[in-house]
Amino acid sequence: MTTSSLWSVSGGPRQGLGLMRLRDPEPGSAPDPDRDPVGLVHAALDQGVTMLDTAEMYGNEALVGRAIAGRRDEVVLCSKFGVVWGTSGRFDDWSVHADAATVVRSCEASLRRLGVDVIDLYYLHHRCEQTPIEETVTAMAGLVEAGKIQAIGLSNVRIDDVRRAHAVHPVTALQEQWSLAANAAEGFLPMLAELGIALVAHSPLSHGQLTGKDAPSGVREALMGPAVRLGATPEQVALAWVHHQQSRHAQPIVPLPGATSIRHLRANIAAASIELTDSELNKLDDIAAV
C-alpha cells in the first residue's frame, strides 16, 4: 500500500482517532452512553473517521477488535509495536524491543487480539538503540509480503532513521507529535515530501496543555479570538490550526486527536471544517514558534 492509496492532499482521511485511552467501563460503574468505548468507535465511523490508531503498548487491542467487529471494511486499522512496559507500574518504566523475532511475534499477537487477518498500517512505535532499523524494517517488509500488514509506519524516530528505513522498504507514514505546543514534526516535512511519506500528527491538542491552567503564556489568548469569532472552543481552534498545515504545506498531514467521549469526538470532527484567516494562522504560528 503506497502513501497515495491511503492519503493525498485532496483526499483520504481528514482526521484519525487516537485510541490510547480507550478502555472498558469499570466493573459496577453506571452506564454512560457518551463514554461507551464501542459506541465511541461506531460514532467515529458513522461520521467518516476511518483511521483508528492503537498499539500493543495501550493494552486495548482486544477492545478495539470488538469495537470494529462487523465493520472491518470501513476501517484503516493502525497499530504499533516495540514499546514494552516494565514491571514497576511507573509511566516512565518502558523499553523498546525491535529485533526481527519481536517484530513477527508482536504482529501475530496483535492480529489475534484485534481479531483480524491484516493490519493496514503497522508502526514501529519508538526508535530502538539496540537494533539497527534496517533489521526491524526488513522484518516488517516480510510481514507485508506475507499479507499480515499492508503498509509500514514509523513513530518517534529521527530523520536519518526514516531515510534508512525507506531505503529498505517504502515507508507509508510517519507519526510524530504536532501541535501549537510541540512543532518538531515540522522539521520532517521536506524529507517526507521528497520520499512521498504522509505525516500523522498525534497529540494535536498536547493532552490538554494548550488550554489548561498551565498553558504556555499567550496561547489561550491567541486561541480565544478565533474561538469567539467562530462560536468554537479554543481546543477546536488549536486542532483546526493543525488541520490547516496540510493545505499550507501541500502534502498529506492527518491530525490524530484522541477522545474518550462521543461529545469530545464530535467537537474534534467539527474542528476539521473550521476555516481560520491568514491573520489568525500567522498569530498562532508566532505562538507555535516560541
Size of the chain in residues:
290
123 in active site: no
**Residue 126 zone, left/alpha/beta (φ > 0; ψ -120 to 50; rest):** beta
Query: Does the pLDDT of residue 10 top 60, yes or no?
Result: no
Condensed to tens digits (0 to 9), the pLDDT of residues 273-283 reads 999 999 999 99
Could you write out the three-class secondary structure of 161-200? HHHHHHHHCCCCEEEEECECCECHHHHHHHHHHHHCCEEE
Q: Which residues pair with 51 in a beta bridge?
A: 16, 76
Q: What is the pLDDT of residue 6?
A: 60
Contact 191, 171 (CB under 8 A): no
For residue 125, give the 3-state DSSP assignment: coil
Q: What is the pLDDT of residue 7?
A: 52
Contact 39, 5 (CB under 8 A): no
pLDDT-derived band at 1 (thresholds 50, 70, 90) equals very low
- Please give the grid coordinates belonging to residue 73: 471494511
Q: What is the pLDDT of residue 289?
A: 67
What's this model's pTM, rounded to 2 decimal places? 0.93
Q: What is the pLDDT of residue 217?
A: 64
Condensed to tens digits (0 to 9), the pLDDT of residues 145-183 reads 999 999 999 999 999 999 999 999 999 999 999 999 888
Condensed to tens digits (0 to 9), the pLDDT of residues 199-224 reads 999 999 988 777 666 666 678 888 99
What is the C-alpha separation between 97 and 100, in angstroms, rounded? 9
Q: Which residues pair with 129 in a beta bridge?
A: none
> What CATH architecture is 3-204+254-260?
Alpha-Beta Barrel (3.20)
What is the C-alpha separation between 70 and 190, in angstroms, rounded? 39
Residue matched to cell numbers 498562532: 284
Q: Which of 58, 123, 188, 241 is catalytic?
A: 58
Q: What is the pLDDT of residue 82?
A: 96
Query: Does the pLDDT of residue 255 top 70, yes or no?
Result: yes
Condensed to tens digits (0 to 9), the pLDDT of residues 35-84 reads 999 999 999 999 999 999 999 999 999 999 999 999 999 999 999 999 98
Tell me which of 206-210, 237-241, 260-264 is least confident.
Answer: 206-210
Q: Which residues pair with 79 in a beta bridge?
A: 122
Query: Does the pLDDT of residue 95 top 90, yes or no?
Result: no
- Please give the grid coordinates belonging to residue 145: 509480503
Tell me the average pLDDT across 3-15: 58
Q: What is the pLDDT of residue 5?
A: 53
The single-letter DSSP state of residue 258 is B
Cα four-point dihedral sign 271, 273, 277, 278: positive
Greater pLDDT, 13 or 108: 108
Q: What is the pLDDT of residue 88?
A: 81
